[in-house]
Structure 1
Amino acid sequence: MSESAPHRRALPLIGQVGGGRSRATCRLRCGDACFHPAPNTSDNAYFGDIFQKVVSRRAALRTSAVTAGAGALGFAALNPAFADRGRGPNRPKPNPRATFHSVLPNNDDQVTIPKGYDQHVIIRWGEPVLPGAPEFDLDNQTAEAQAQQFGYNCDYVGFHQLDDDRALLWVNHEYTNEDLMFAGYPGGAEADLEQIRTAMAAHGGSLVEIERVGGTGQWRLAGGERPFNRRITATTPLRIAGPAAGHELLRTEADPTGTEVLGMLNNCAGGMTPWGTFLSAEENFNQYFNSAPGTPQSNRYGLPTGASRRRWDRVDERFDLSKHPNEANRFGYVVEIDPLDPQAAPVKRTMLGRFKHEGANTRLTEDGRVAVYMGDDERFDYMYKFVSDGRYVEGSRRHNLTLLDSGTLYVARLEGNSPAEEIDNSGELPSDGAFDGTGRWIPLCTATESFVDGFSVAEVLVYTRLAADAAGATKMDRPEDFEASPVTGKVYCALTNNSAREPGQVDEPNPRGPNRYGHILEIIEADNDAAATSFTWNVPIICGDPEDDDTYFAGFDKSKVMPISAPDNLTFDARGNLWISTDGQPGRLGYNDALHVVPVEGRFRGELKTFATVPVDAEACGPFVTPDNKTVFLAPQHPGDGGTLEAPTSTWPDREFPRPSVVCIWHPRGRDVGR
């Protein structure tokens, strides 16, 4: 099949359900969220005049002088998204078209890359991370060993360059599949307690030092001391900061101050700050707890009223909410990790709200403050933005590490500009030629003032979903990762899918119901300023099989694009190409998940190509393109999730048993990736 040939439709694979993942992935990753009613039952009737309250607030925040600059340790110079906020004569020059030949859709048990490229597995589940860590022994795993080794599964990949040939790689460990970790695993209620402790140690994240190989685009684990290497698990002490820290909703018997919590759970995507720290986002934390009280608050967060499948309460009583009702309130946050200080406790930033965070990516505002864009990965949930009070100051690391604790938290309200009858679920564009409109960022609270009637500041930050319901936010189709273009400053959001949206529920920002394949949203802030409280938006890509009438690729010839379903994580290269990884193509299109590349500017806008496909049952995670455009990091997680250790459906990467791993991809002749 040629790159431009029509694509033959493949039937969904047996065992693929829900959001398009394997049955096991749905059960283990998000607690079968798609098989339960969506927890958002609000009608969002209230909008009122909340938006007007922000006007004077915004004016006050603009009174100080601009102090923004390049990142500490050259971070902004190495990361174009922070170099000039997408403006000015020194911004990256776009050359957006990808010229490689697309990888064709397949069901191969490998990472498949374009002809001429090479790949290397940097690190696998179980490989040593900390000094003195034991070598991996599949048949004799312990929690003590796993807490020193690379954790299970690998979602967000962050990259902090130390110099030309050394860097730090941060990787989230989202969840575990004990059926692939332990032979004959009997399940949470019957599992050996050490197996449960080992799974807890396999959560969290890993920080490893890597080195460039011979000046090429290849990277490998660094040799020597590696003093920055670090493991964070489900039992690592973390600090709670921001306005909700210490509030009674966060206090427990073990932590009566409400300022320290053990571990981070189900960390999915993330982001980087201009001062060189990583942001790691807790997502489906609800599935780890038992015996929720069934209140409107706990129901809105999907907390189970019965026993969890994992039964972590068997080794740690805090996961039983009948005994420790506030423990769940201490999860669902963005965690900030300082890669240059291995002794510093990671910090849960309550000012960024509590929900199923999918990503936390930043832009600098025109006056030097930091904006953080975040999605709540649930059907019919919302898009959020935080804008700091303080300004980023080059070289002032101590100051910058306080910026995420004070500012304004917003939620998005979107309105279409076409007659309702023209949004008819057919896929046909409205008469103005685009699914587009305007939007507002509705303020929920500052560090000292709530804008939502009946909610204190702490209640907004702990029960953010309910506050956003009351504020009249727009229900979206599972907003996941956000990413800003380093060339234009436009912001993009991946809306993965929503099979629960009925045809009568479509609106212009979510124009298809049921939305089985997902879409991409493009946001243009007023004056291209991340501090703006108004924006315009459009839908450049409506995913699916290009042969289907209801798909759209920014007007590009659909006979020349590749199929895509369930867009999940996003990143940009320095030229302004958008890279989209997927999570659910097998169940929707019948092909393995993949990493796609698409220009979002110029005459080739919408020409979507496939750069890589991942192994059987795996999700394409990461991804990250290095600032020099020489390397793509890709993290295929949960390969073989549809099988067991005794009967695996994948044996990637070593043809023994499936091991979630991180891969780097580069061109041996030194070409930019994507060329």
Structure 2
Amino acid sequence: MSEHLDRDDISTNPSGNRTLSDIANADVSRRHVLGGTMGLAAIAFLAGAPAAQAATPTAAPTATTADVVARHGRRKPLLGFTAVPVGADDDVHVPEGYVADVIIPWGTPLFSDGPAWKKNASDSSLEQAMQVGYNHDGQHFFPFDTRGRRKSRGGRHDDNDAGLLVLNNEYTDPALLTTDGLDTVTPEKVRKHQHAVGVTVIAIEQERGGRWTHTDSPFNRRVHANTPVVFSGPAAKDPRLQAKTPARGTMANCSMGNTPWGTYVTCEENWADYFGSADKNHKVTDEEKRYGIEPGQTHYKWEEADDRFDTDKDPNEQYRWGWCVEIDPFDPDHTPVKRTALGRVKHENCHFATSRGRVVAYTGDDQSGEYIYKFVSKRPWRAARAMGRSPLDEGILYVAKFHEDGTGTWLPLVFGQGPLTKKNGWKDQADVLVRTRRAADAVGATPMDRPEWIKENPLTGQLFVTLTNGTAGPNPANPRKKNVYGHILRWTERHGDKTGTEFDWDIFVLAGDPTKDPQVDINGDAFGSPDGLYFDTDGRMWIATDVSNSKQLLKEYENLGNNQMLCADPRTREIRRFLTGPKGAEITGIMGTPDRRTLFVNIQHPGEETKAIGAPTPANPQAVSSWPDHDPAGRPRPATVVIRRKDGGIIGS
């Protein structure tokens, strides 16, 4: 996430709902803890005692985890590697015995006869549409056999050798994408930016010797901000979605989810940053403010060359963004579908699970003071598909309310229920979904500190969410008044039923530098601003960090170095640093092959402006970083890193 996107740290939620800080005086003895004790720092803080004076408690495994351990007979630790030190140089580092290869950096041609990337960024918008996009983020690996056929879920070992890598390209850097930046705006420049965002679908395979490479495939394609799209679900025909031009595009694609039926769902996050007006007298509406649209011109300046993004010229276009977008990677002719039943917010990711035959989709709204949601399909997903219906078009969208006793409730966002009535100004279910944030305000959901990735431990069914940073505390669930480091929460759905409305929650880890903040509660290596999450099938939890470039290497973060990826054992809460990234970069998009012997990790925005180092310019694009090429004539390039063990073993073991 770029420096100018730090507006996510600023809440646009005026609802006055009970924040986590409102429960600061809750009785700690009533705290229902999942799989261990409350963090030492939280207990000491609430009791008024310095954390350093107490002994570190040992977290006990949950009954579910203990059963799994007993059933599989696992006694040795999950983490079998030696942690790497904090990194501050301009490269990627992994533990001894591992290799990290770079593939598909920005500008890589989708086909062998496609346009080659130009070091001076002089590629045209048409060429960019035939190349890998910019700023790799969330991704998923879809295996296929040597004939390119789709593999069944849980397939054979050859599922690990070749497949489609589908990845989000979140946003662009004007100083690096074109030869002369955006000081002068032209339609061609704006089109290049629009063609560099969205989603990249590209075939990859493992060669002899273990290295991976991209290959030609009929499935290779780009989905970008000018690709035709359609809408489905309850809000598809809402008048606000009927703008002046046909519906086109997806952008601000942060993370993603993969459905049980084998499709890819990309999430539109910071879409509001692209909407503005050149009219100095333009006044932002309350609804625009609620979603983060600000007065004046934008950082990207798309509104100067594309009327869709000028809120004066086309006030309805903004309602076409902020959705979860489904793409079939194995159908190059598939038109992306924006699934309105999942609500319109700043979606970070969308984790799909199944329960009682139904599909359940969890998503966080990544802005300070926003909420955690889940969608439950109306009918079993297989039955819906057999009827020719999408399981994502019919169902109930819920928003989470966290209680001070460690329990929680999923509140339905259903027109006609509770405050969501005509009497209170709601028109219908489409209105609830178009104004999802307002609906969540109305039912009394719990504002959170930037809820980001949500993932499920496949061994226990527990859900984990990263909360990057915020100011909701102090309280049992968020014990720091100024939470610059972030933390990770986890919850278990009551009775294991993900379609239900009750859950139990606790804090998994309070991130940060313990030399700066005695409340930090980490069993292992220090880190801050947790963002991406991934679980492998052994239950290892991989954590990626996204320390803002306005904070990286400074003050609270001066000892934590560049952004990093860590690995955690959810049972013991031990955390070890596995990877450190180059200068100015975020680590994201963790994804593994089914056999756990290859791990794909994305390096986003290397070389971006940082307060501690400097800022790239069109004249000096390598002012911060030259990764991965380290070519004096080139520029930094977001890319995917492929990690494997030299002995061919399981990553992390």
The answer, yes or no, to whether TM exceeds 0.5 is: yes
1:168 to 1:90, Cα distance in 2 relative to 1, 3 A: farther
1:173 matched to 2:169: yes
Which residue pairs with 1:69 in the alignment?
A: none
TM-superposed deviation, 1:639: 0.2
Which residue pairs with 1:101 in the alignment?
A: 82
Taking the TM superposition and a 5 Å limit, the aligned residue runs for 1:340-489 are: 340-365=330-355, 367-393=356-382, 402-417=390-405, 437-445=406-414, 452-453=420-421, 454=424, 455=426, 456-489=428-461
1:347 to 1:468, Cα distance in 2 relative to 1, 3 A: same
TM-superposed deviation, 1:626: 2.0
Which residue pairs with 1:526 in the alignment?
A: 494
Which residue pairs with 2:612 in the alignment?
A: none
Q: Please, which of 650, 662, 665 is the counterpart of residue 640 of structure 2?
A: 662
Taking the TM superposition and a 5 Å limit, the aligned residue runs for 1:8-27 are: 25-27=2-4
1:449 to 1:105, Cα distance in 2 relative to 1, 3 A: same
1:118 and 1:640 map into 2 onto residues whose CA distance is 23
TM-superposed deviation, 1:253: 2.1
TM-superposed deviation, 1:195: 1.9
TM-superposed deviation, 1:646: 3.2
Task: State the SS of the aligned residue for 1:552.
Answer: coil
1:349 to 1:93, Cα distance in 2 relative to 1, 3 A: farther
Q: Please, which of 228, 251, 257 is the counterpart of residue 265 of structure 1?
A: 251
Which residue pairs with 2:596 in the alignment?
A: 629
2:594 partner amino acid: P
Residues 438 and 535 in structure 1, CA contact (< 8 A), matched pair in contact too: yes
Which residue pairs with 2:222 in the alignment?
A: 231
TM-superposed deviation, 1:399: 5.3
Deviations, residues 10-50 of structure 1 (Å, cap 9, x unaligned): xxxxxxxxxxx7xxx221xx27443xx5201111269xxxx
Which residue pairs with 1:299 in the alignment?
A: 289
1:104 and 1:388 map into 2 onto residues whose CA distance is 45
1:290 and 1:92 map into 2 onto residues whose CA distance is 56
Which residue pairs with 1:427 in the alignment?
A: none
1:96 to 1:355, Cα distance in 2 relative to 1, 3 A: farther
1:201 matched to 2:201: no
1:527 to 1:355, Cα distance in 2 relative to 1, 3 A: same
Q: Please, which of 559, 565, 568 is the counterpart of residue 595 of structure 1?
A: 565
TM-superposed deviation, 1:324: 0.9
Deviations, residues 213-246 of structure 1 (Å, cap 9, x unaligned): 2384x43212xx4011110111001111110001
2:304 partner amino acid: R
Residues 130 and 230 in structure 1, CA contact (< 8 A), matched pair in contact too: no
Deviations, residues 294-345 of structure 1 (Å, cap 9, x unaligned): 2221110011221212121222111111121111011001111111111010
1:92 and 1:277 map into 2 onto residues whose CA distance is 31
TM-superposed deviation, 1:91: 9.2
1:44 matched to 2:17: yes
149-158 or 584-593: bigger deviation: 584-593
1:322 and 1:87 map into 2 onto residues whose CA distance is 59
288-297 or 536-545: bigger deviation: 288-297
Q: Please, which of 291, 304, 307 is the counterpart of residue 317 of structure 1?
A: 307
Residues 615 and 639 in structure 1, CA contact (< 8 A), matched pair in contact too: yes
Residues 198 and 253 in structure 2, CA contact (< 8 A), matched pair in contact too: yes
TM-superposed deviation, 1:130: 4.6
1:671 partner amino acid: G
2:80 and 2:497 map into 1 onto residues whose CA distance is 32
Task: State the SS of the aligned residue for 1:328.
Answer: helix
TM-superposed deviation, 1:522: 0.7
1:566 and 1:460 map into 2 onto residues whose CA distance is 32
2:110 partner amino acid: V
1:236 and 1:442 map into 2 onto residues whose CA distance is 35
Task: State the SS of the aligned residue for 1:445.
Answer: coil
1:520 and 1:463 map into 2 onto residues whose CA distance is 28
Identical-pair percentage: 38
Residues 250 and 329 in structure 1, CA contact (< 8 A), matched pair in contact too: yes
Deviations, residues 253-285 of structure 1 (Å, cap 9, x unaligned): 224xxxxx2111110011111111111110000
1:627 and 1:270 map into 2 onto residues whose CA distance is 18
1:44 and 1:600 map into 2 onto residues whose CA distance is 32
Deviations, residues 405-426 of structure 1 (Å, cap 9, x unaligned): 1111000000122xxxxxxxxx
Deviations, residues 98-132 of structure 1 (Å, cap 9, x unaligned): 11011100111111110110121121100111574
TM-superposed deviation, 1:573: 1.1
1:439 to 1:652, Cα distance in 2 relative to 1, 3 A: same
Task: State the SS of the aligned residue for 1:145.
Answer: helix
Which residue pairs with 1:430 in the alignment?
A: none
TM-superposed deviation, 1:392: 2.6
2:491 partner amino acid: I
Q: What TM-score, normalized by structure 2, do the two folds share?
A: 0.83
2:257 partner amino acid: G
1:443 partner amino acid: P
Q: Please, which of 260, 263, 284 is the counterpart of residue 274 of structure 1?
A: 260
Question: Which residues of structure 2 form unaligned runs of 5+?
Answer: 20-64, 146-157, 610-614
Which residue pairs with 1:638 in the alignment?
A: 605
2:3 partner amino acid: C
Which residue pairs with 2:232 in the alignment?
A: 241
Question: Which residues of structure 1 form unaligned runs of 5+?
Answer: 1-20, 47-84, 256-260, 418-436
1:274 to 1:91, Cα distance in 2 relative to 1, 3 A: farther
Residues 419 and 442 in structure 2, CA contact (< 8 A), matched pair in contact too: no
1:116 matched to 2:94: no
RMSD of aligned C-alpha atoms?
A: 2.5
Task: State the SS of the aligned residue for 1:237.
Answer: coil
Task: State the SS of the aligned residue for 2:203.
Answer: strand
191-200 or 384-393: bigger deviation: 191-200
1:277 partner amino acid: T
1:529 and 1:319 map into 2 onto residues whose CA distance is 42
Deviations, residues 370-418 of structure 1 (Å, cap 9, x unaligned): 1111000000111000011121329x9665860001111000000122x
Task: State the SS of the aligned residue for 1:286.
Answer: helix
1:91 and 1:293 map into 2 onto residues whose CA distance is 62
1:86 to 1:172, Cα distance in 2 relative to 1, 3 A: farther
Task: State the SS of the aligned residue for 1:595.
Answer: strand
1:398 to 1:113, Cα distance in 2 relative to 1, 3 A: farther
